[in-house]
Structure 1
């Protein structure tokens, strides 16, 4: 009797697991590029890719050489903008200087930057307007 009581939930669980997670992974693209804001721009800049449908927002930090790379971004059209990288600094220490990002480039509504991400490598270079 106990065996039959335990069999039913086990069969239901196994059936649910077999039906889960099927299908191939969604295709993605990689994005590479450079950010050039001028000689006094400072460091700590992030490039942000934003899409409303499907709702996706991904960020990557720009390296000291001005280059950035973002892996596995879902395919689609993205608005792109820049933001300072959040910095954690010890309490009582002076706040590190923030990146000088032009106001136009600091919002997806005003940057004018857009990228249609396709499978493979995509490139977007950002310069100070």
Structure 2
């Protein structure tokens, strides 16, 4: 298998919801392993609520994207967003506009998806899980 670089998003108590949302945006079937499934339930202090949290959630999409999510245990510090954005780019306007539309549900739009000074369509949003996304649709060659 070739090497894969993909985002791994750490959340607080809503990784299952986020994974379902991203599957709705990009397609694919989520794969989930909880702390209890993994044998690390003892690390969760034996708390059944902590054991039910997602230790590793994975989504492989029909477009070839790979996305991972996890719940941060209550015993660990969690800080969301701020230092990273996920960028979607390409020339398939319909596909990328569709991703933008779905990611926009409940999102904060930082820059609307519109014509950029460099000629492409570009937008920035922070989705309902606090994850930053940039979408760049390459302008058609003249």
TM range (shorter): under 0.3
- TM-score, length basis structure 2: 0.25
Question: Which structure has the bigger radius of gyration?
Answer: 1
Name the structure with the higher strand share. Answer: 1
Could you say which structure has the greater relative contact order, defined with CA pairs below 8 angstroms and 6 or more residues apart? Answer: 1
